[in-house]
C-alpha cells in the first residue's frame, strides 16, 4: 500500500475540476436550502439544462460557445420559473418531491428517442467545447509536485471553475450580509412572520430559486465542458443527494460551507476509493468481501452512512453554528427533551417553555 498514491489521488479529487463543479452547484443549493429553507431536490435539473444549453447550441446548431452559455443560463431561469411558480407555495417536503420528480421527468425526456434529434438521446452529445480549450493560455505540460499533478487541460478547467466558485462565494458573501439576505433568512425562519412585516415571501423565494438555479446551471456547463460530453444519465437524482451531503458537511447556511464541503467531500471520497483499491490489491481485504468492482458501490454506501451520521451527530456541519442550528429544530417540531445542558451564553436569557412557531 502506497500512502503517497492515496494522498495524491485524494488531493486530485479535492482540487480537481469535479470538486469545483460540485462546489458551484452547491453554492446555488446553499442559497436555496441554507439561506431560504427551500428543499430543492431538483438541483441536478438545473445542471442538466446548463450542460445541454451549451452542448445543444454548439454541437447541434453549430453556434458559438458563448451563445451556448447564454442559452444555458436562460434555460435555467426558465426552469426556475416553471418549477417555482407552482411549487413555491407548497410545504417544504412536498416541494422536495415535486422538484425531484420534475428533475426525473426532464432526464427521462432528454433520454428518450423522441428527443434524440436535439439531445442525442441516450448517447448524448460530444465534442462541443473545443473553443474553450482553444483559448487555454496555459502552456502544455504537467504541473504539480510529487504524484499530485494536473495536465494543462485540467488546470485550465480548474482555473475557470475555481474562479467562478470564488466569484460566486463573494457574491453570496455580499448578498447574505445585505438587507436582501436578511429577508431570505427571515423567510427560512418563519414565512408568516416575514409576510406580516410586508415582505413578499413568494417573490423572494423565486429570486432565490432563480439565483441558485443559475449557479447550478454554471456547474452543469463546467461539467459538460470538462468531459466534452453530456448524457442524460449523468444527471440522475443521486447528484443532488451528493450536493446535500457535501453542503451539510461544510455547513448549510454558511458562506464557505459549500466550498469547504466540496473539497473535503471529494478528498474523502477519493481517499476511501484509492485506499480500498490498494487494500484489495495488497490483499488486506479479501476479494470475497469486497471485490474491486464493488469499490464504487461501497463508496456510495459510505456517503449515505456519512450523511446519516452527520445529520444525527453534527447537523450544523463543520462551519455551522451549533447554537443557531438548535434554534431551528424548534421551528419544525417541538423537541421533547434536550440531551445536554446548553453552554451558558453570556447574554442569553433563560430558556422558556414557550417555543417559536404555531
Partner 1 sequence: MTPDPTLADITAEPGVPKPDPLLVLDGVRRDFGGVRAVDVDHLEVQRGVITGLIGPNGAGKTTLFNLLTGFDRGGTGRWTFDGRDVAGMPAHRLARRGMVRTFQLTRVLSRLTVLENMKLAAVGQRGERLLPALLRPVWGAQEADIERRADDLLDRFLLAAKRDDYAGYLSGGQRRLLEMARALMVDPTLVMLDEPMAGVNPALRQDLLGRITDLRDSGRTVLFVEHDMDVVMSISDWVVCMAQGRVIAEGPPARVAGNPAVIDAYLGSQHGADDEQGSEETTS
Partner 2 sequence: MARRLVTLLFLVLAAMAAVSGLAAAQDGEAVEGTLRGPDGEPVAGVTITVEQDGQEIGTTTSGADGTWLVPVPAPGGYDVTLDAATLPDGVALRDADGATLPAVTVRPGQQRTVLFPLVAPGAADDGAAPGPAPPPADTGPGIGALLAQLTVSGIKYGAIIAIAAIGLSLIFGATGLINFAHGELVTIGAVTAFFLNAAAFGPGMGLIPAALIAIVVGAIVGGALELGLWKPLRIRGTGRIQLFIISIGLSLFLRHIILVIFGSRPRPYADYVIQQVMIFGPVAITPRDLVITVLSLVVLVAVGLMLLRTRVGKAIRAVADDRDLAEASGVDVSRVILYVWVLGGALAALGGILFGLSEIVAWDMGFRLLLLMFAAVILGGLGSPFGAMAGGLLVGLVAQLSTAYFPVELQNAWALGVLILVLLVRPQGIFGRAERVG
Question: Does 1 engage in binding with partner 2 (CB under 8 A)?
Answer: no
Task: Give contact residues for partner 1 (rule: CB under 8 A).
Answer: 171, 174-175, 178-183, 185-186, 188-201, 207, 211, 323-324, 327-328, 330-331, 345, 347-352, 354, 356-358
Residue from 6, 18, 79, 102 binding partner 2 (CB under 8 A): 102
Pick what 193 binds: partner 2, partner 1, none; C-beta below 5 to 8 Å, kind-dependent.
partner 1
Name which of partner 1, partner 2, none residue 312 binds, using a CB cut-off of 5 to 8 Å depending on partner kind.
partner 2
Q: What is the dihedral of CA 75, 76, 78, 81, to 10 degrees?
A: 170
141 binds partner 2 (CB under 8 A): no
Q: Decide if residue 324 touches partner 2 (CB under 8 A).
A: no
131 interacts with, out of partner 1, partner 2, none, CB within 5 to 8 A per kind: none
Q: Which residues in 29-48 contact partner 2 (CB under 8 A)?
A: 39
Cβ distance to partner 1 smaller for residue 336 or 350? 350
CB of 170 to partner 2, least distance (A): 28
Enumerate residues 116-135 that contact partner 2 by CB under 8 A.
116, 121-123
| Minimal distance, residue 115 CB to partner 1, in Å | 34
Q: How far is the CB of 314 from partner 1 (least distance, A)?
A: 17
Nearest alpha carbon to residue 240 among 104, 30, 93, 41 = 41
Contacted entry of partner 2, partner 1, none for residue 341, CB cut-off 5 to 8 Å set by kind: none
Angle value at C-alpha 33, between 32 and 37, nearest 5 degrees: 95
Choice between 165 and 252, CB closer to partner 2: 252
- Decide: 47 and 217 in contact? Cβ < 8 Å: yes
CB of 185 to partner 1, least distance (A): 6
* CA–CA gap between residue 64 and residue 153 (Å, rounded): 20
- Does 109 contact partner 2 by CB under 8 A? yes
HEC per residue, the chain: CCHHHHHHHHHHHHHCHHHHHHHHHHHHHHHHHHHCCCCCCCHHHHHHHHHHHHHHHHHHCCCCHHHHHHHHHHHHHHHHHHHHHHHCCCCHHHHHHHHHHHHHHHHHHHHCHHHHHHHCHHHCEECCCHHHHHCCCCCCCEEEECCEEEEHHHHHHHHHHHHHHHHHHHHHHHHHCCHHHHHHHHHHHCHHHHHHCCCCHHHHHHHHHHHHHHHHHHHHHHHHHHHCEECHHHHCHHHHHHHHHHHHHHCCCCCCHHHHHHHHHHHHHHHHHHHHHHHHHCCCCCCCCCCHHHHHHHHHHHHHHHHHHHHHHCCCCCCCCHHHHHHHHHHHCCCCCCCCCCCCCCCCCCCCCCCCCC
Min dist. Cβ of residue 283 to partner 2 (A): 15
Q: What is the spatial distance between Cα 270 and Cα 133, in angstroms, rounded to a whole number? A: 26
Among 6, 14, 29, 96, binds partner 2 (CB under 8 A): 96
| Residue choice 167, 233, 342, 356 for contact with partner 2 (CB under 8 A) | 233
Residues 176-215: x where in contact with partner 2 by CB under 8 A, - otherwise, as a string: ----------------------------------------
**Residue 281, interface with partner 2 (CB under 8 A)?**
no
2 makes contact, choosing from partner 1, partner 2, none, with CB < 5 to 8 Å by partner type, with none
Per CB under 8 A, residues contacting partner 2 are 39, 86-87, 89-94, 96-98, 100-102, 104-105, 108-109, 111-114, 116, 121-123, 233, 238, 241, 244-245, 248, 287-291, 293-294, 297-308, 310-313, 315, 328-329, 331-339
Amino acid at each position: 500500500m502506497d500512502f503517497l498514491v492515496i494522498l495524491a489521488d485524494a488531493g486530485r479529487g479535492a482540487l480537481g475540476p469535479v470538486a469545483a463543479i460540485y462546489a458551484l452547484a452547491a453554492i446555488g443549493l446553499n442559497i436555496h436550502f441554507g439561506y431560504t429553507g427551500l428543499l430543492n431536490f431538483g438541483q441536478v435539473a438545473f445542471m442538466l439544462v446548463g450542460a445541454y444549453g451549451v452542448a445543444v447550441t454548439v454541437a447541434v446548431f453549430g453556434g458559438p460557445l458563448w451563445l451556448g452559455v447564454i442559452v444555458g443560463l436562460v434555460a435555467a431561469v426558465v426552469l426556475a420559473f416553471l418549477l417555482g411558480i407552482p411549487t413555491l407555495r407548497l410545504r417544504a417536503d412536498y416541494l422536495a418531491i415535486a422538484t425531484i420528480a420534475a428533475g426525473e421527468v426532464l432526464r427521462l425526456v432528454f433520454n428518450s428517442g423522441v428527443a434524440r434529434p436535439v439531445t442525442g438521446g441516450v448517447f448524448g452529445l460530444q465534442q462541443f467545447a473545443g473553443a474553450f480549450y482553444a483559448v487555454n493560455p496555459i502552456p502544455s505540460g504537467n504541473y504539480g509536485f510529487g504524484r499530485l499533478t494536473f495536465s494543462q487541460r485540467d488546470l485550465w478547467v480548474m482555473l475557470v471553475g475555481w474562479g467562478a466558485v470564488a466569484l460566486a462565494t463573494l457574491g453570496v458573501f455580499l448578498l447574505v450580509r445585505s438587507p436582501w439576505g436578511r429577508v431570505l433568512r427571515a423567510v427560512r425562519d418563519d414565512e408568516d412572520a416575514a409576510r406580516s412585516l410586508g415582505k413578499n415571501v413568494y417573490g423572494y423565494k423565486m429570486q432565490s430559486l432563480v439565483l441558485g438555479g443559475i449557479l447550478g446551471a454554471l456547474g452543469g456547463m463546467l461539467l459538460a465542458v470538462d468531459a466534452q460530453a453530456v448524457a442524460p444519465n449523468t444527471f440522475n437524482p443521486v447528484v443532488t443527494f451528493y450536493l446535500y451531503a457535501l453542503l451539510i458537511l461544510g455547513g448549510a447556511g454558511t458562506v464557505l460551507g459549500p466550498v469547504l464541503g466540496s473539497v473535503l467531500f471529494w478528498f474523502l471520497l477519493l481517499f476511501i476509493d484509492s485506499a480500498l483499491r490498494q487494500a484489495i490489491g495488497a490483499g488486506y481485504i479479501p476479494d470475497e468481501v469486497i471485490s474491486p468492482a464493488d469499490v464504487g458501490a461501497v463508496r456510495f454506501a459510505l456517503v449515505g452512512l456519512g450523511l446519516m451520521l452527520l445529520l444525527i451527530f453534527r447537523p450544523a456541519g463543520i462551519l455551522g453554528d451549533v447554537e443557531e442550528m438548535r434554534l431551528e429544530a424548534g421551528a419544525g417540531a417541538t423537541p421533547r427533551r434536550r440531551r445536554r445542558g446548553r453552554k451558558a451564553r453570556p447574554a442569553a436569557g433563560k430558556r422558556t417553555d414557550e417555543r417559536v412557531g404555531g
